[in-house]
Amino acid sequence: MTIHLIKLCVGADRIDDLKSWQHTLLQRNKGTRLQGLVHHTTRMFPKRAEELKDGGSIYWVIAGQIQVRQPIVDLQEVTTNEGRKCRIVLEPGLILVNPTVKGPFQGWRYLKPEDAPGDLGSSAEGDDLPIRAELAELGLL
């Protein structure tokens, strides 16, 4: 059974901030064993790893709303100078979802498929639309 993760995109005010951060990560990883991988590292390793790898996505909360998602490719245990961590390997590119208000929380949480916002049907490769959240609140998206 598939399960998803929901995670605050700390420091991002717009979708373009996340895209820029991931682009920088890809550039920094050139010539390393992580070349071509988009990933996010977190302290805790999910206990439901197999369910996440079975079609799960990470849903990013940006500016108080779930705005985009990325399919999860793999979960890898890594050791850093701070101890063991989990590297969440993601498909590159962001998929726009119906903006959904989400209050603050720490770390990540599991998200049931039936609770996940639906895709908007296009990729977030184009321009960020800051007004999108306002349109959604008005019921126009």
- pLDDT per residue as tens digits for the range 113-129: 999 999 996 555 444 45
> pLDDT for 48-93, tens place per residue?
999 999 999 999 999 999 999 999 999 999 998 888 999 999 998 8
Q: Is the pLDDT of residue 104 over 90?
A: no
Mean pLDDT of the chain: 87
User: How many domains, the chain?
Assistant: 1
Residue environment code for 51-82, b if the CB has 16+ CB neighbours within 10 A, otherwise e: ebbeebbbbbbbeebbbbbbebbebeeeeeee
- CA distance linking residue 123 with residue 139, whole number of Å: 21
Please tell me the total number of residues recorded for the chain in this structure: 141
> Which pLDDT score, from 0 to 100, does residue 126 have?
45
For residue 73, what are the domain limits?
A: 4-137
Query: Which two three-digit tokens encode residue 118?
Result: 């639906």
Cβ atoms within 10 Å, residue 30:
9
DSSP state, residue 45: P
Q: Please state the pTM of the whole predicted model.
A: 0.83
Q: Does residue 46 contact residue 56 with C-beta atoms inside 8 Å?
A: no
